[in-house]
């Protein structure tokens, strides 16, 4: 079941009173994984409400803590503007269902354009096979049901496919590309989905059950050029039942357009 990103992340203002506003949203079953809405998609829903409220149009930094997985269907977005500055503004945003907070986030907005970076360190875009030489992930396999893969064209580099056939590389890194199906370019909101759309990076170490996100932060660094983005999604440490994942998103000009980091729960098989 397809629904465009713009439709699926739509919000409707219910009321506004000074620094507070509330919106309704309808979480679409397609933008999820195994019955649970995708985390990046939830951030895009919150971000869309925030961008509709404030002085600055673009999400530049989001921090979200995931308290309980929301169901698909109706949800409430509650906002409180905490600070409006000249260059950035910050809003508290809660995604709620039946009076309970599912995702609590802080969203900072500013102004973004397509200006190239002034300086870049050791963060060259990785060598990733061309779109047509990557493998598109499908929504239904023997092991997983990931309807999100019907909403996006997400393709992994051939070197990142080992985990799907029982042969992870052990490096904890997945490389690939993502295109939106209905829009020519990513924007600051759909980039929040790109930051969280890949399979868990620790699958390239060991394929486990659900890897629930505890915290996710994302920075949007520029408006991307048209076309698919390149994504590197990698884990660094699995310790004490948790794993970190760092995600970098480049546009086709090689500009870093988004960066994400998350901490998730994980349970490896005893070894």
Cβ distance 228 to 75 under 8 Å? no
117 touches a copy of itself (CB under 8 A)? yes
Give the residue with the Cβ less far from a copy of itself, 136 or 242.
Answer: 242
Given a contact cutoff of 8 angstroms between Cβ atoms, the answer to whether 93 and 107 are in contact is: yes
Contact 139, 145 (CB under 8 A): yes
Q: What is the CA 227 to chain-centroid distance, rounded?
A: 17
CB of 62 to a copy of itself, least distance (A): 8
Q: Does 81 bind a copy of itself (CB under 8 A)?
A: no
Structure tokens, 203 = 């699958």
Please list the residues that pair with 213 across neighbouring strands.
264
Of 53, 51, 43, 44, whose CA–CA distance to 15 is shortest? 53
Nearer to a copy of itself by C-beta: 128 or 174? 174
The residues in 248-267 that bind a copy of itself, with binding defined as CB under 8 A, are 255-256, 259, 261, 263, 265
How far apart, in Å, do the first and last CA atoms of the chain sit?
Answer: 40
By CB under 8 A, name the one of 26, 104, 150, 153 that touches a copy of itself: 104
Residues within the interface to a copy of itself (CB under 8 A): 60-61, 63-65, 67-68, 82-83, 85, 87-88, 90, 92, 101, 104, 106, 108, 110-113, 115-123, 171-173, 202, 205, 214-215, 217, 219, 221-222, 234-242, 244, 246, 255-256, 259, 261, 263, 265, 268, 271
């Amino acid at each position: 079941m397809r629904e465009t990103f713009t439709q699926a992340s739509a919000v409707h203002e219910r009321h506004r009173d000074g620094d507070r506003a509330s919106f309704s949203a309808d979480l679409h079953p397609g933008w999820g994984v195994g019955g649970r809405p995708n985390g990046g998609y939830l951030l895009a829903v919150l971000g869309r409400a925030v961008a509709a409220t404030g002085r600055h149009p673009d999400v530049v930094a989001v921090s979200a803590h995931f308290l309980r997985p929301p169901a698909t269907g109706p949800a409430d977005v509650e906002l409180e503007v905490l600070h409006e500055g000249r260059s950035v503004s910050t809003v508290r945003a809660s995604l709620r269902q039946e009076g309970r907070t599912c995702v609590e986030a802080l969203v900072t907005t500013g102004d973004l354009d397509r200006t190239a970076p002034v300086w870049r360190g050791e963060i060259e875009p990785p060598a990733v096979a061309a779109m047509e030489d990557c493998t598109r992930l499908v929504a239904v396999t023997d092991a997983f049901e990931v309807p999100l893969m019907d909403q996006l064209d997400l393709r992994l580099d051939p070197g990142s496919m080992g985990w799907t056939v029982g042969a992870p590389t052990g490096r904890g890194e997945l490389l690939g590309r993502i295109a939106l199906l209905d829009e020519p370019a990513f924007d600051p909101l759909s980039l929040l989905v790109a930051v969280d759309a890949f399979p868990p990076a620790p699958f390239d170490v060991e394929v486990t059950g659900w890897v629930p996100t505890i915290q996710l932060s994302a920075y949007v660094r520029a408006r991307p050029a048209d076309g698919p983005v390149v994504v590197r999604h990698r884990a660094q440490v699995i310790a004490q039942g948790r794993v970190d994942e760092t995600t970098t998103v480049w546009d086709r000009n090689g500009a870093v357009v988004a960066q994400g980091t998350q901490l998730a729960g994980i349970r490896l098989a005893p070894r």
